[in-house]
Amino acid sequence: MTRFRLTIEYDGRPFMGWQRQAHGPSVQQAIEEAAEAISGEQVTVHAAGRTDAGVHAVAMAAHLDMARPITPFRLAEGLNARLRPQPVAILGAEAVGPDWHARFSCTGRRYVYRIVNRRAPLALEAGRAWQVRVPLDAEAMQEAAQALVGRHDFTTFRSAHCQSDSPVKTLDRLVVSRSGDVILVEAAARSFLHHQVRSMVGCLQLVGRGRWSAADLAGALAARDRAALGLNAPPDGLYFTAAEYPGEAAPKPNRR
């Protein structure tokens, strides 16, 4: 039995999310079915994170165990062949030790949220970014975002369906930057609550358009009440960009 680490890219639009669902297709199911077609084995694929319906990934880390002798190269090629035409790609595969686990060995996760701030329709990025037509002040968003960095009770920014044992998380990084019409919100932490990044971005958007102040955002955090949330951003602009593991260099900030 060999354990293989996979690096996966996918467009989340056709899927109900990463995790297998009884009511629709998932990324996990697509890869598991491709692996079974190659090996004849029932395979379970474990990922570093469980993205929601419509959320994308540029470098999701995952692993699977396979008894059939196969090289990492042939595994990646075979999976990609079986996955077509679904928008899922295996960017790389490598053999790892039996103790390496995509989820439980992970020490950090990174997301980027893309906002396109313009009036003209999205011809190329519809479903892959959140279009906000009114002008946004990215500098005000960046300044306000720093109130969320650190260890806090993020109940306000937590989905009612979140299964985490505690709402207390440590947010290592939350950076807002603008390049032309594109505003990026980069978030890094060991782990996130369900909908945490989307909820933070939604409230930062309110700051950017002048509806909220930095104090309003800090107040929403302090409220520790989901009812204090201003807005939950849509899944379109959210990308899982990196998973961090012990002994590996931390990835550079994403600038898609």
138 and 86 in a common domain: no
Confidence (pLDDT) at 215: 97
113 and 81 in a common domain: no
46 forms beta bridges with 63
Which residue, 96, 125, 157, sits at the end of a domain?
A: 96
Which residue, 96, 130, 152, sits at the end of a domain?
A: 96
Question: Are the beta carbons of 165 and 94 closer than 8 angstroms?
Answer: no
Catalytic center residues: 52
CA 176 – CA 4 distance, rounded (Å): 35
134 in any annotated domain: yes
Confidence (pLDDT) at 254: 42
51 in any annotated domain: yes
65 and 116 in a common domain: no
21 in any annotated domain: yes
Confidence (pLDDT) at 162: 82
CA 55 – CA 71 distance, rounded (Å): 30
The total of structural domains in the chain comes to: 2
145 and 112 in a common domain: yes
239 and 113 in a common domain: yes
57 in any annotated domain: yes
Which residue, 55, 75, 96, sits at the end of a domain?
A: 96
138 in any annotated domain: yes
125 and 17 in a common domain: no
20 and 56 in a common domain: yes
102 in any annotated domain: no
CA 179 – CA 115 distance, rounded (Å): 11
Give the CATH number, domain containing residue 25: 3.30.70.580
163 and 75 in a common domain: no
Question: Are the beta carbons of 145 and 204 closer than 8 angstroms?
Answer: yes
Could you say which residues of the chain have pLDDT below 70? 250-256
255 in any annotated domain: no
Q: Which amino acid, one-letter code, is at 34?
A: A
Tell me which residue range forms the domain holding 131.
108-244
234 and 113 in a common domain: yes
Cα atoms in the 13 Å half-sphere on the side-chain side of 197: 31
Give the CATH number, domain containing residue 150: 3.30.70.660
134 and 64 in a common domain: no
114 and 43 in a common domain: no
89 and 12 in a common domain: yes
253 in any annotated domain: no
Confidence (pLDDT) at 115: 98
